[in-house]
Amino acid sequence: MSETPMGTVTRDGAGVVLRYERELRHPPEKVWRAITESEHLRHWFPADIIGERIPGSTLTIAFWPESIEQAGSEIEAAGLDLNDASLPGELLTWDPPRTFEFTWDSERLRFEIEAVDGGTRLTVTVHADKPAPRGFASTATGYHLCVDALVAHLHDEQVDLFSSERTATLETSYAAVL
Protein backbone atom coordinates (compact mmCIF):
# COMPACT_ATOMS: atom_id res chain seq x y z
CA MET A 1 0.00 0.00 0.00
CA SER A 2 1.32 3.45 -0.85
CA GLU A 3 2.08 5.99 1.83
CA THR A 4 -1.00 7.49 3.40
CA PRO A 5 -1.29 10.89 5.05
CA MET A 6 -0.58 11.05 8.74
CA GLY A 7 -3.38 11.85 11.08
CA THR A 8 -3.45 15.12 12.96
CA VAL A 9 -2.60 15.05 16.64
CA THR A 10 -3.88 17.67 19.07
CA ARG A 11 -3.15 17.73 22.78
CA ASP A 12 -6.28 17.77 24.96
CA GLY A 13 -5.19 18.18 28.58
CA ALA A 14 -3.38 14.96 29.49
CA GLY A 15 -4.85 13.20 26.45
CA VAL A 16 -4.81 13.56 22.68
CA VAL A 17 -7.28 13.93 19.84
CA LEU A 18 -6.31 11.99 16.71
CA ARG A 19 -7.96 12.72 13.37
CA TYR A 20 -7.59 10.72 10.16
CA GLU A 21 -9.25 11.71 6.91
CA ARG A 22 -9.44 9.63 3.75
CA GLU A 23 -11.09 10.19 0.38
CA LEU A 24 -12.57 6.91 -0.84
CA ARG A 25 -13.93 5.92 -4.22
CA HIS A 26 -16.73 3.88 -2.64
CA PRO A 27 -20.33 4.87 -1.87
CA PRO A 28 -21.18 5.85 1.74
CA GLU A 29 -23.29 2.70 2.23
CA LYS A 30 -20.31 0.43 1.49
CA VAL A 31 -18.07 2.40 3.84
CA TRP A 32 -20.79 2.26 6.52
CA ARG A 33 -21.00 -1.53 6.31
CA ALA A 34 -17.20 -1.77 6.54
CA ILE A 35 -17.08 0.24 9.78
CA THR A 36 -20.11 -1.30 11.49
CA GLU A 37 -20.47 -4.99 10.51
CA SER A 38 -18.46 -7.75 12.17
CA GLU A 39 -17.66 -9.54 8.92
CA HIS A 40 -15.87 -6.39 7.75
CA LEU A 41 -14.44 -5.21 11.10
CA ARG A 42 -12.44 -8.43 11.28
CA HIS A 43 -10.31 -7.22 8.33
CA TRP A 44 -9.20 -3.90 9.77
CA PHE A 45 -10.17 -3.41 13.42
CA PRO A 46 -8.52 -5.48 16.19
CA ALA A 47 -11.83 -6.21 17.92
CA ASP A 48 -15.49 -6.93 17.28
CA ILE A 49 -18.08 -4.39 18.42
CA ILE A 50 -20.86 -6.35 20.08
CA GLY A 51 -24.13 -4.83 21.19
CA GLU A 52 -27.36 -3.23 20.06
CA ARG A 53 -27.04 -0.42 17.59
CA ILE A 54 -29.09 2.01 19.68
CA PRO A 55 -27.54 5.14 21.27
CA GLY A 56 -26.92 4.51 24.97
CA SER A 57 -26.49 0.74 24.50
CA THR A 58 -23.71 -1.05 26.33
CA LEU A 59 -21.11 -2.55 24.01
CA THR A 60 -18.50 -5.22 24.45
CA ILE A 61 -15.36 -4.63 22.41
CA ALA A 62 -13.89 -8.14 22.12
CA PHE A 63 -10.46 -8.66 20.57
CA TRP A 64 -10.38 -11.09 17.65
CA PRO A 65 -8.33 -14.28 18.26
CA GLU A 66 -5.91 -13.26 15.49
CA SER A 67 -5.38 -9.89 17.18
CA ILE A 68 -4.59 -11.64 20.46
CA GLU A 69 -2.17 -13.92 18.61
CA GLN A 70 -0.39 -10.99 16.91
CA ALA A 71 -0.51 -8.38 19.69
CA GLY A 72 -1.00 -10.41 22.86
CA SER A 73 1.90 -8.78 24.71
CA GLU A 74 0.47 -5.28 24.02
CA ILE A 75 -3.01 -6.42 25.09
CA GLU A 76 -1.60 -7.94 28.30
CA ALA A 77 0.48 -4.80 28.94
CA ALA A 78 -2.82 -2.87 28.81
CA GLY A 79 -4.00 -5.01 31.73
CA LEU A 80 -6.31 -7.46 29.94
CA ASP A 81 -6.62 -11.19 30.48
CA LEU A 82 -5.93 -12.88 27.14
CA ASN A 83 -8.58 -15.50 27.95
CA ASP A 84 -11.23 -12.76 28.09
CA ALA A 85 -9.73 -9.92 26.08
CA SER A 86 -12.57 -7.46 25.92
CA LEU A 87 -13.29 -3.94 27.05
CA PRO A 88 -16.55 -2.16 27.84
CA GLY A 89 -18.03 0.45 25.58
CA GLU A 90 -21.13 2.49 24.93
CA LEU A 91 -22.81 3.41 21.67
CA LEU A 92 -23.04 7.20 21.56
CA THR A 93 -24.22 7.97 18.01
CA TRP A 94 -25.85 5.72 15.44
CA ASP A 95 -26.92 7.67 12.34
CA PRO A 96 -26.63 5.38 9.29
CA PRO A 97 -24.85 5.90 6.95
CA ARG A 98 -23.35 9.11 8.33
CA THR A 99 -22.10 8.87 11.92
CA PHE A 100 -21.02 6.01 14.18
CA GLU A 101 -19.57 6.98 17.57
CA PHE A 102 -18.77 4.82 20.56
CA THR A 103 -16.55 4.55 23.58
CA TRP A 104 -13.97 1.82 23.91
CA ASP A 105 -12.76 1.74 27.50
CA SER A 106 -11.46 5.31 28.01
CA GLU A 107 -11.33 6.20 24.30
CA ARG A 108 -14.06 7.75 22.18
CA LEU A 109 -14.12 6.91 18.46
CA ARG A 110 -16.19 8.81 15.93
CA PHE A 111 -16.57 7.80 12.28
CA GLU A 112 -18.09 10.42 10.00
CA ILE A 113 -19.06 9.58 6.43
CA GLU A 114 -19.79 12.28 3.89
CA ALA A 115 -20.81 11.68 0.29
CA VAL A 116 -18.48 13.57 -2.04
CA ASP A 117 -18.29 13.67 -5.81
CA GLY A 118 -17.78 10.07 -6.89
CA GLY A 119 -17.23 8.58 -3.43
CA THR A 120 -16.97 9.22 0.28
CA ARG A 121 -14.92 11.30 2.69
CA LEU A 122 -14.26 9.31 5.86
CA THR A 123 -13.15 11.16 8.98
CA VAL A 124 -12.10 9.13 12.01
CA THR A 125 -11.63 11.05 15.26
CA VAL A 126 -10.26 9.40 18.39
CA HIS A 127 -10.19 11.02 21.83
CA ALA A 128 -7.62 9.14 23.93
CA ASP A 129 -7.26 10.08 27.59
CA LYS A 130 -4.47 7.63 28.35
CA PRO A 131 -1.67 6.34 26.13
CA ALA A 132 -1.12 2.80 24.91
CA PRO A 133 1.55 0.91 26.88
CA ARG A 134 4.26 2.37 24.58
CA GLY A 135 2.83 5.91 24.63
CA PHE A 136 0.57 8.17 22.56
CA ALA A 137 2.78 7.72 19.48
CA SER A 138 1.83 4.04 19.63
CA THR A 139 -1.85 4.95 20.05
CA ALA A 140 -1.72 7.22 16.98
CA THR A 141 0.15 4.58 15.00
CA GLY A 142 -2.35 1.86 15.91
CA TYR A 143 -5.29 3.87 14.65
CA HIS A 144 -3.37 4.96 11.55
CA LEU A 145 -2.69 1.31 10.70
CA CYS A 146 -6.36 0.44 11.30
CA VAL A 147 -7.54 3.19 8.93
CA ASP A 148 -5.03 1.99 6.31
CA ALA A 149 -6.31 -1.57 6.70
CA LEU A 150 -9.91 -0.34 6.37
CA VAL A 151 -9.07 1.43 3.10
CA ALA A 152 -7.27 -1.69 1.84
CA HIS A 153 -10.28 -3.85 2.76
CA LEU A 154 -12.60 -1.52 0.84
CA HIS A 155 -10.29 -1.97 -2.19
CA ASP A 156 -10.33 -5.78 -1.74
CA GLU A 157 -6.68 -5.68 -0.73
CA GLN A 158 -4.98 -6.79 2.45
CA VAL A 159 -2.31 -5.17 4.57
CA ASP A 160 -0.50 -6.46 7.63
CA LEU A 161 -2.14 -4.65 10.53
CA PHE A 162 0.79 -5.70 12.71
CA SER A 163 3.73 -4.89 10.41
CA SER A 164 6.67 -4.19 12.74
CA GLU A 165 8.55 -2.16 10.10
CA ARG A 166 5.57 0.08 9.29
CA THR A 167 4.75 0.39 13.01
CA ALA A 168 8.28 1.56 13.84
CA THR A 169 8.29 4.12 11.01
CA LEU A 170 4.91 5.55 11.98
CA GLU A 171 5.71 5.62 15.71
CA THR A 172 8.81 7.69 14.95
CA SER A 173 6.76 10.08 12.80
CA TYR A 174 4.00 10.46 15.39
CA ALA A 175 6.52 10.84 18.25
CA ALA A 176 7.98 13.83 16.37
CA VAL A 177 4.62 15.67 16.46
CA LEU A 178 3.81 14.78 20.04
Comparing CA positions, the residue from 33, 35, 55 lying closest to residue 44 is: 35
DSSP helix/strand/coil, 59:
strand
What's the rounded Cα separation, in Å, for the pair 139 and 132?
Answer: 5
Per-residue burial over 61-87, b if 16 or more Cβ lie within 10 Å, else e, is: bbbbeebbeebeebbeeeebeeeebbb
Residue ranges of domains in the chain, CATH in brackets: 8-177 (3.30.530.20)
DSSP helix/strand/coil, 134:
coil
Q: What separation, in Å, do the N-terminal and C-terminal C-alpha atoms of the chain show?
A: 25
Instruction: Tell me what pLDDT residue 2 has.
Output: 54
What's the rounded Cα separation, in Å, for the pair 84 and 137?
Answer: 26
DSSP helix/strand/coil, 84:
helix
Q: What is the pLDDT along the chain (178 residues), one digit of tens a residue?
A: 457 899 999 999 999 999 999 999 999 999 999 999 999 999 999 999 999 999 999 999 998 988 878 776 777 777 777 877 889 999 999 999 999 999 999 999 999 999 999 899 999 999 999 988 889 999 999 999 999 999 999 999 988 777 889 999 999 999 999 9
Instruction: Tell me what pLDDT residue 19 has.
Output: 98
What's the rounded Cα separation, in Å, for the pair 101 and 111?
Answer: 6
pTM exceeds 0.85, yes or no = yes
Give the strands of the sheet with 8-12, arranged side by side.
8-12, 15-24, 119-128, 107-116, 99-104, 86-95, 58-63, 47-50
DSSP secondary-structure letter at 105? T
Instruction: Tell me what pLDDT residue 161 has.
Output: 74
Instruction: Tell me what pLDDT residue 119 has.
Output: 96
